[in-house]
Amino acid sequence: MASGEIPGARRIEKLSDDEIVERLTAARGVGRWTVEMLLMFQLGRPAVMPADGFGVRSGYRIAYGLDKMPKPLEVLEASEVWRPHRTVAAWYLWRAVDLAKQGG
């Protein structure tokens, strides 16, 4: 595969999460969060933590009773204990935000 080339569907399945992020974010307009959503929802990767996302950071703040919004690196480092199930943890963090909005 040529450097900077976007991998096809069969090739992408064989790449690591980090390799996919690196290759796809090389395309103009494609950011890390977008690729992480692809990893989670299209490729079913279990260990993704989209720590740059506002929803995940908000959920982390709620779940841990923090007064201020955590930095992405804080969430990313803390999420290592959830590996290889960080994708599920992200879903729970998003859900914490939904529940807080509903008053529960």
pTM for the complete prediction? 0.89
pLDDT digits (tens, 9 = 90+) for 3-46: 567 899 899 999 999 999 999 999 999 999 999 999 999 999 99
Residues 32 and 58 in one domain: no
* Number of alpha helices (DSSP H) and beta strands (DSSP E) in the chain: 6, 0
> Does 27 share its domain with 58?
no
- Answer yes or no: are the C-beta atoms of 5 and 12 closer than 8 Å: no
2 part of a folded domain: no
Q: Which domain holds residue 16?
A: 9-41
pLDDT at position 64 over 70: yes
pLDDT > 90 in the chain, percent: 90
Residue with tokens 């790449």: 15
Q: Which two tokens stand for residue 37?
A: 């959503």
- What are the b/e assignments for 1-18, b being 16+ CB within 10 Å? eeeeeeeeeeebeebebe
Instruction: Please tell me the total count of domains within the chain.
Output: 2
What's the pLDDT score for residue 104?
65
**Which two tokens mark 18?**
């980090």
Task: Judge if 35 and 59 occupy the same domain.
Answer: no
Widest Cα–Cα separation across the chain: 51
Same domain, 58 and 88: yes
